[in-house]
Each structure stands twice: as structure tokens, then as C-alpha cells.
Amino acid sequence: LLVPLLQRCVQLLLLPIQLLSCLGLWDLVYKRVFPYLMAKVAPAFNQKVYRQKQELFSTLRDFTGPSGQLKLLEIGTGTGTNFQFYPAGCRLTCTDPNPNFSKFLLKSLSENRHVKLERSLVAAGEDLSQIQDSSMDVVVGTLVLCSVSSCSRVLREVLRVLRLGGAFYFLEHVAADHASCTYFWQRVCDPLWKYLGDGCCLSRETQEELEKMNFSELNLRSIRVAPHWTPTSPHIVGYAVK
């Protein structure tokens, strides 16, 4: 009973933002501001999970296809903070629904010249129709599934564009154990977080969504990212093979 009560209190505080959202003004402004916010936050997060990302992406080359060059699609590329972990010479396609990330993307590319950008598309993960079936060796999504409108639709698109034997790499913050204080605060903060995090949901059960999909193999482990008291601390990291 306490969670709905506190959520109501948060929603009352959000009334001005909700009004701006109804008028279509919140997204108009926030979509421009959000990339600047992520440009400040993403490097700090990268430092916290540097070891985990380095270990995760160290196996990317194992999924190189018959062409001999790794064809890699990153969904929700944002500012391009993952580029430093990609192997030299990989053929990269980037997608993000927010076109305002473009200047930060170009900056990251200039700092990571070992990566070859083939295409950069303005597209949501739920609709990757600009990308052919079975055309990618690897799809990467980090801190993406928490903010999409439909996790299952994104994962179906991931499976569609992956070749047989290709892999989906992920690192996502997720819902905590339901009996924990962290989950309590995730539920309370969710209404506010969705506005400030561009649709991000703190209590999304992403692991369950991955387990439902028709991947032939799912390698996944749970980690906590410091500081551990924050509602974004619980994460899952791993890869799934088509």
C-alpha cells in the first residue's frame, strides 16, 4: 500500500512536467537536452563498468561471419561510449531514435578511428526495417532495453537481423529482487525516472524478456554497479546466440 501512495506523491510533484508533456513541449525540449546530459554521465558510468565491458566485448571477434569482417549493429548508440571496446576493422552500423546525438557520435568516432562506420540511422529498436534480415554478426545494446516501449518487439527485431549463429550483447540495469528495499524504491521512483531518463524504467524484468525469446543460448550474469544503494545498481550482463 505504501508504494502506490508514494507514487501518487511523486506524480503530484510531476504535474508541471506532465502538463508540458501533454502539450508536446517536454519531448521537444528534453530530446535536445538529453544527449548533453548523457555526454556528461556516460563516461562516468563507463569507468564503473570498464572491466565488465572489456571482458564482455573481448569475445566479439568469435562471431565474425564468413566475410571475415565483423558486421556489428549497435542499437541506441547514443554518444558512442562502446566504440573503444570494439575490435579494429569491424563494420559498424549505428541506430538511435534521437537525431540530436549525432554530434556526440561523430566526436566518439574521431576518438576511435579503429572503428569503421558504415551507416548511422535514426531508428527505434522496435523498427529496424532499414536493416536486412540475417545481415549482422553481432547486435549490441547497452542501457537500451530499459527505455524502449516494447522490449519483446526490440528482441524480435534483434533476432531478425542477426545471422544464424550471431550474438546479441547486452548490459542493462534491471529490477531488483522483489523483497528488497531497492525494488521498493525502484517502484516509487519509476514515474519520475521515466521523464528524466527519456522513458527509462527502473523496475523492468529484462532477464525474463530475454529468457522468453528464441535464442539458442543465453549467457547471463547479475552484477551490481556502485553505489549499491541507488535504484539503478542491479544489472545483467552477457550475450545471447541466435
Task: List, for residues 45-66, the tens digit of each pLDDT value.
Answer: 999 999 999 999 999 999 999 8
Rounded to whole angstroms, the Cα distance separating 72 from 138 reads: 5
pLDDT at 4: 82
- 1-241 topology per CATH: Rossmann fold (3.40.50)
Phi, psi of 22 (to 5 degrees): -60, -30
The stretch 160-175 carries a mean pLDDT of: 98
- Residue 196's pLDDT band (boundaries 50, 70, 90)? confident
Share of the chain above pLDDT 90, in %: 83
pLDDT at 21: 85
User: Model confidence over 81-125: pLDDT tens digits?
Assistant: 999 999 998 999 999 999 999 999 999 999 999 999 999 999 999
Question: Residues in the chain, how many?
Answer: 242
User: Are 149 and 96 contacting, i.e. CB atoms less than 8 angstroms apart?
Assistant: no
User: Are 10 and 188 contacting, i.e. CB atoms less than 8 angstroms apart?
Assistant: yes
Residue 174 cell numbers, joined = 534491471
The stretch 176-204 carries a mean pLDDT of: 93
What angle, rounded to 10 degrees, do the helices at 25-48 and 50-57 form?
Answer: 80
Q: Is the pTM of this model over 0.85?
A: yes
How many other C-beta atoms can be found within 10 angstroms of the C-beta atom of residue 77? 27
In 3D space, the residue among 116, 144, 139, 114 whose CA is nearest the CA of residue 42 turns out to be: 144
Outline where DSSP puts E strands in 40-90.
Answer: 71-75
